[in-house]
Amino acid sequence: MGGVFVEIKNASQVKVGQILQLAVKFPTEYEPTKLKAQVVNVRDRGIGFKFLDLSRENQEVIRVCFNTFKDTIPIT
């Protein structure tokens, strides 16, 4: 719950350590949630992000979404 891996075709445009603002549309929310994240790895198939400075509200949004879907989708 502290990060996310995003599959993307051309991940070479970002660098490890780079800090970005992500807008994530969680299926449990009506509007995208803005999250500050740091690139922690870049792979052929995507980018690994670590969330930074999560507000309590954003932590709750992530927790609710994770708990809602944890038994329905494979986490690899």
Task: Give the DSSP H/E element, type plus range, for residue 65.
Answer: helix 56-69
13-58 confidence digits (pLDDT tens)? 889 999 999 998 988 889 999 999 999 999 988 999 999 999 999 8
Please name the fold of domain 3-69.
SH3 type barrels. (2.30.30)
pTM: 0.80
What tokens appear for 25 in the block? 């549309």
Q: Coil, strand or helix: which one is 58?
A: helix
- Domain segments of the chain as ranges: 3-69
CA–CA distance, 49 with 6 (Å, rounded to integer)? 8
User: How many angstroms separate the first and last alpha carbons of the chain?
Assistant: 13
Q: What does the pLDDT read at residue 73?
A: 66
Sign of CA dihedral 27, 32, 37, 39: positive
